[in-house]
Structure 1
């Protein structure tokens, strides 16, 4: 009798026919569920983490974008056409500058090209979000997305015209190019991606060794 009970199992034992593993596949009336329902239960714990990572990505992007947008509005309203504001003596100033080039003032003759690149970066990030399971990657991509959107907004809506607009820069360290918060977000996101790649962590959460 004891041997028969061990093989058949009870609801409280791992081998029970009505245990959690069996209830995921079989209905309460003893009939099998559809295969799709079984797969849906199996996939549910995987889908939820991905959605959370995507939510983190867009939350970070929204925060970076909003911070950049508000800072530029304040700079244009309060600082443009005024004397620079010294933050740390001559070492750090806030000085409003219109930049038609890329980050830190490079490539002013290729404004349209940089606009297209920024738009392409946004599309690539949106595609990567489909297989995103890594929290560090979500933060890195969120910084890139927020920064790209911030500067792309300037390219589209500021003078001298659509896709040729000059970006508002205002952070001016001594002996360094003037930049803005969007540039900072892009650089920080890029550095984080390099570190994650160096450690072998992929956006889908897998780790590989070269």
Structure 2
């Protein structure tokens, strides 16, 4: 299941990026909901949500590659379904942006990520960035829920607690 989520997210991310590249010119903004929600094409050498800069592209590429490999190794050991879903969403987003870093200009390992979603005064981002963010939230909530459930079960089984 995790592999399907990862591949679907990365594929949707890449397909929408191709659509935006064919539809918009760099720096061009198209209002969808006034100035609050726009499509705005830019090429990001930094991290998610346009953080970081040109000199750190290789570092973000290396981190993303390491993370995707780490998830592939950890995936078979995941016991909680929601933790797995959150991690898969995170990995799918990382893979989507990793593909950009490996295959887009200015060249292999130093490619810029295609960003195109602009909401209010927030940074410009893409589906991969959104998937990473939602994946982190799902993973953390699942971990906290599991931890709380385990404490509750431990308290119920402890004879001293009665």
Normalising by structure 2, we get a TM-score of 0.87
Which residue of 2 is the match for residue 62 of structure 1? Answer: 7
Which residue of 2 is the match for residue 142 of structure 1? Answer: 88
1:12-23 matched pairs, under 5 angstroms: none
**C-alpha separation in 2, matches of 1:82 and 1:154:** 18
Identify which of structures 1 and 2 has the higher relative contact order when contacts are C-alpha pairs closer than 8 Å and 6+ apart.
2
Structure whose CA Rg is larger: 1
Which residue of 2 is the match for residue 104 of structure 1? Answer: 49
Q: What is the alpha-carbon root mean square deviation over aligned residues?
A: 1.6
CA, structure 1 residues 81+118, in 2 after alignment: closer, same or farther (shift >3 Å)? Answer: closer
Identify the structure with the greater helix proportion.
2
Q: Give unpaired runs (5+ residues) of structure 2.
A: 153-162
| Higher alpha-carbon deviation: 72-81 or 174-183 | 72-81
| Runs of 4+, deviation exceeding 4 Å | none
Q: Give unpaired runs (5+ residues) of structure 1.
A: 1-55, 202-206
Which residue of 2 is the match for residue 37 of structure 1? Answer: none
1:61-210 matched pairs, under 5 angstroms: 61-81=6-26, 83-108=28-53, 109-200=55-146, 208-209=150-151
Normalising by structure 1, we get a TM-score of 0.68
Conserved in 1, the CA contact under 8 Å of 2:83 and 2:143?
A: no
